[in-house]
Amino acid sequence: MPNKLIALAAERLRAGGVVAFPTETVYGLGADARNEDAVRRVFAIKGRPAEHPLIVHLAEIDQAGAWAAEITQPARQLMARFWPGPLTLVLPARDDVPRVVTGGQDSVALRAPNHPMALALLRKFSGGLAAPSANRFGAVSPTEAWHVRTAFGMQVDQLLDGGPCRYGLESTIVSLLDERPRVLRPGALPLSALREVLGEDGIEFGEQPNLASPSVSSSLPRVPGSLAAHYAPATPLEIHPIEALPARAAALLNQGLRIALLRRNQSLRGKPSLPSLPQFLLPARAETYARSLYARLRELDRFAFDCVLVEAPPDDETWWAVNDRLSRAAASR
């Protein structure tokens, strides 16, 4: 572990700086969550609208009480089981949590990342780091340090390089604001893991009804990752079941378009043959597919295809997070 770099990063954070750091999911763009100016800089660098809240990253479960007004029983269970790890919990915020972090809401999202460099930084800094994924608003999240460097260059005060991220997909977000835990964003922690703790019927899905003021809540993008178009590469994507790909490819080629195919390894076995076109492969299993997906989408952008046809992954629960990101990436036009 490069202790000197970590110590320097912690110092910069204390001085109100912005430091990009690796987590097990994707790279984050961190600032002292108690320093409003530093947090505002993160929003500015990312080009993120102020009402989209940030996750506060912590080193230990014990720090959660400094941010959450109340830690419910399911929250305690989930932290004990999955922290540090790719699970973000939304809890009622204490009054002293800067509302610039929470996008003006009275709730706060907390997570302890399971990455040695992130944990070393958090321990050295010994506070909460507000950190969104280290990409421009709406773009694909960074899973390697050079993705961050390419996007932001000298705009960040320091970039800690921890190599490629283990999961390559953002954390699962669970809200504990109403009676039953609610998954707001599928992510790196599988639903099956949540069920082990919360029981088969212990989880709700989707947007939170805002109890205080429903009319305001419907116009408030509480989870920007829930915008239809997000996580989007520059290249237009179309998702089709593998059986539909040959006809669609032929139609686009007939229009004179430059297209490519993004599919799973071995998915064409015994399937109708495709017109000859560039093909990009991803691993066949959900977990390894997720790990490489964002890097592959970035790579595709360099070729400036008119369109990339994506083989629709299986429709089952293990692919939920992948399918969620793919459909948002394709929804941008």
Q: What is the Cβ-side half-sphere exposure of residue 198, based on CA atoms within 13 angstroms?
A: 26
Is the CB of 182 or the CB of 263 nearer to ligand TXA?
182
The residue written with tokens 């299986």 in the block is 314
Is the CB of 54 or the CB of 79 nearer to ligand TXA?
54
- Three-class SS of residue 250? helix
132 binds ligand TXA (CB under 6 A): yes
Burial of 205 (0-12, 13-18, 19+ CB in 10 A): exposed
Closest distance of CB 120 from ligand TXA, Å: 16
Q: Which does residue 55 touch among Mg ion, ligand TXA, none (CB within 5 to 8 A, set by kind)?
A: ligand TXA
The separation between CA 108 and the C-alpha centre of its own chain, rounded to angstroms, equals: 16
With CB under 6 A as the contact rule, the residue among 35, 63, 133, 323 that binds ligand TXA is: 133
143 binds Mg ion (CB under 5 A): no
Closest distance of CB 170 from ligand TXA, Å: 4
Residue closest to 74 by CA, chosen among 205, 191, 199:
199
Contacts (CB under 6 A) with ligand TXA, residues 247-306 = none
Is the CB of 35 or the CB of 175 nearer to ligand TXA?
175
Chain residue whose CB lies nearest Mg ion: 133
88 binds ligand TXA (CB under 6 A): yes
With CB under 6 A as the contact rule, the residue among 39, 173, 239, 329 that binds ligand TXA is: 173
With CB under 6 A as the contact rule, the residue among 223, 300, 308, 312 that binds ligand TXA is: 223
DSSP 8-state symbol, 267? T
Extract the tokens encoding 208. 């939170």
* Dihedrals phi, psi of 183, to nearest 5 degrees: -80, 115
DSSP for 111-173, written as a single string: E----HHHHHHHHHHTS-EE--BSS-TTBPPP-SHHHHHHHHGGGSSEE----S-SS-SPPEE
108 binds ligand TXA (CB under 6 A): yes
Extract the tokens encoding 187. 């992510």
Contacts (CB under 5 A) with Mg ion, residues 111-140 = 133
The stretch near ligand TXA (CB under 6 A) out of 63-71, 108-116, 146-154, 238-246 is 108-116
Is the CB of 133 or the CB of 172 nearer to Mg ion?
133
Backbone dihedral region for residue 90 (phi beyond 0: left; psi -120 to 50: alpha; all else: beta) = beta
The stretch near ligand TXA (CB under 6 A) out of 20-28, 74-82, 280-288, 290-298 is 20-28
102 binds ligand TXA (CB under 6 A): yes
Asked if 115 and 123 touch (Cβ cutoff 8 Å), the reply is no
Closest distance of CB 274 from ligand TXA, Å: 35
b/e for 220-258, b at 16 or more Cβ within 10 A? bebbbbebeebbbbebbbbbbebeebbebbeebeeeeee
Is the CB of 133 or the CB of 171 nearer to Mg ion?
133
Apex 124 CA angle, 123 and 128, nearest 5:
60
Is the CB of 131 or the CB of 330 nearer to ligand TXA?
131
Contacts (CB under 6 A) with ligand TXA, residues 54-83 = 54-55
Determine the size of the site formed for ligand TXA (CB under 6 A). Answer: 29
Q: How many CB atoms lie within 10 A of CB 199?
A: 10
45 binds ligand TXA (CB under 6 A): no
Which residues bind to Mg ion, rule: CB under 5 A?
133
Which residues bind to ligand TXA, rule: CB under 6 A?
23, 25-26, 28, 52-55, 88, 90, 102, 105, 107-109, 111, 113, 131-133, 170-171, 173, 184-185, 222-225
